[in-house]
Structure 1
Amino acid sequence: MKGLKDKVALVTGGASGIGLAISKRLAEEGMAVGVLDLNKEAAAAAVEQIKLAGGKADFEVVDITDYEAVKAAVASIEAKLGPVWTLVNNAGWDTPTAFLKTTPDFWQKIVNINYLGPIHMTHAVVTGMAQRGGGRVIFIASDAGRVGSSGEVVYSGCKGATIAFAKALAREVARNNVLLNCVCPGPTNTPAMDAFVGTGEQGEKIRNAMVRGVPLGRIGEPDDYPGMVAFLASDDASFMTGQTVSISGGLTMHG
């Protein structure tokens, strides 16, 4: 991809699953990658993998629901790697539960992680991007935010809100050459998916049902998404902002 070499990327939830695949791909493109994650051991291991492959990376342990901690982590990464060119808001969390069986504490946790967390990150990073006159923000949203997903009602609402937030902010900062876009994965084979559907016979039934709904006949893998993220971070996407791209094997088709 054009224009990525020696620039800095920051990836939340960058130590596992889709986030790790994105971190490694951006490093392969020549970017210095800041891995933000709650899991210190996993973050350190991700950075080590990147370095062993010849890339440049560092990490910070941070809870994205804490705005002051987010600002401190961003400042630390920028002090070590340089100003952030690309922010990938990837971190998220959910557990499948019928909405009428959930409670306000559960709703608040979902909102804090999946909506307010990316807002915290975006405010902390885009302030500098706008001042410098350039940057890219990529939200790993979800097709749940486009079409809804039973058992993920509040999560779906957060992802829909994230998509709308990205579009609105894209309008505000376009003249600063700060571009914001969303990538919406479909069901994906990650540790988070294992936790989501469970294991054993019931978990296998849920997975099989997901596969039957995908025209390409499989659920996603973490490596299905980093190419689009790299494209959106690059000069190749310099005339693209406020857009939402589904990568779901045809499960959802928008046009």
Structure 2
Amino acid sequence: MRRTALVTGGSYGIGAAIAERLVADGAEVILTGRKLDAARQQAERIGARAVAFDVADHAATVAAIERLGPVDILVNNAGADHFGWFTQVPYETWKRILAVNLDGVLSCTQAVLPGMQESGWGRIVTVGSEAGRIGSKGNAAYAAAKGAVIAFTKSIARENARFAITANVCSPGPIETPLLREMSEHAIAVVTEQTQLKRLGTPQEVAAAVSFLVSEEASYVTGENLGVSGGMALGG
């Protein structure tokens, strides 16, 4: 049976790699982005469909997902970030970070769950961050949002196990993406040194972990937070 997968923030970076991997796995993939042209360009490249909406807009998100019909696999990947000491981050900035990284996850998850419950099968994977597990200097609001989605996912896993729906988090560490390259060379060197493997990860390595979590082979895995971070959470 071919599954329908929705990947938010699938136009570039980690989301694009996840969408491409799920297409290769045989899923019918719908990827989202805030800009329709970028989403369509990526979708056409990999053989997927594209829709545009801002996950921070609850009403628009729910309406868009309802128009898609039943979704078997949800990958909550859309994210926003801002680097700076928390005392210097404007209210509007950290509210936007929470709206995308936390509220967006809740909106998308609530929109797809009724259909999954009715069908008696579903996979929900949220792309978190090791910042949500260990904190992040200069990234407090982002870390707060990612920590919250870990707790949220565990709760969704508990509520929906009776429907054969699994919910898990995949938490990357420093990954080689255009967003990461916006950091200074010194900052990149610091986060790389915090990993045990002393290198950056790739979007494809995150995509491989997501591919496993949404597969039948992971049917007995739920409520977990899988780090793809070169051992960053080990510390030391």
Normalised-by-shorter TM-score class = over 0.9
Match of 2:21 in 1: 25
Match of 1:182, SS?
strand
Query: What does 1:1-255 correspond to in 2, within 5 Å?
Result: 6-51=2-47, 57-78=48-69, 83-195=70-182, 197=183, 203-253=184-234
TM, length-normalised to structure 1 = 0.89
- How far 1:76 sits from its partner (Å)? 2.8
Fraction of identical pairs, as percent: 38
CA distance in 2, matches of 1:194, 1:139: 23
Matched letter for residue 151 of structure 2: A
The two structures have a TM-score, normalised by structure 2, of: 0.96
Question: What RMSD in Å do the two structures reach over aligned CA positions?
Answer: 1.3
Structure 2 counterpart SS, 1:151 = coil
Give 1:75 shift.
2.5
Alpha-carbon distance in structure 2 between the residues aligned to 1:144 and 1:212: 15
Question: Is this contact kept in 2: 1:33–1:58, CA < 8 A?
Answer: yes
- Aligned equivalents of 1:140 and 1:219: distance in 2? 17
Q: Which 4+ residue blocks in structure 1 deviate beyond 4 angstroms?
A: none
Letter in 2 for 1:73: A
Deviates more, 1:97-106 or 1:107-116: 97-106
Q: Which moved more, 1:63-72 or 1:150-159?
A: 63-72
Matches of 1:75 and 1:39 in 2, distance apart? 19
Offset of residue 95 of structure 1: 1.2
Counterpart of 1:184 in 2: which secondary structure?
Answer: strand
CA distance in 1, matches of 2:67, 2:42: 18
Q: Which moved more, 1:23-32 or 1:123-132?
A: 123-132
Contact 2:34 2:53 in 1 (8 A): yes
Cα distance between partner residues in 1 of 2:159 and 2:221: 14
Could you tell me which runs of 5 or more consecutive residues in structure 1 were left unpaired when the two chains were aligned. 52-56, 198-202
Question: Which blocks of at least 5 consecutive residues in structure 2 are unaligned?
Answer: none
Matched residue type, 1:126: L
Q: Is the 8 A contact 2:180 2:188 kept in 1?
A: no
How much does 1:110 deviate? 1.1
CA contact (8 A) 2:7 2:75 kept: yes
Q: By how many angstroms is 1:213 displaced?
A: 2.1
Mapped to 2, the partners of 1:22 and 1:253 lie a distance apart of: 25
Matched-pair contact (CA < 8 Å) for 1:60–1:77: no
Report the Cα offset of residue 14 of structure 1: 0.5
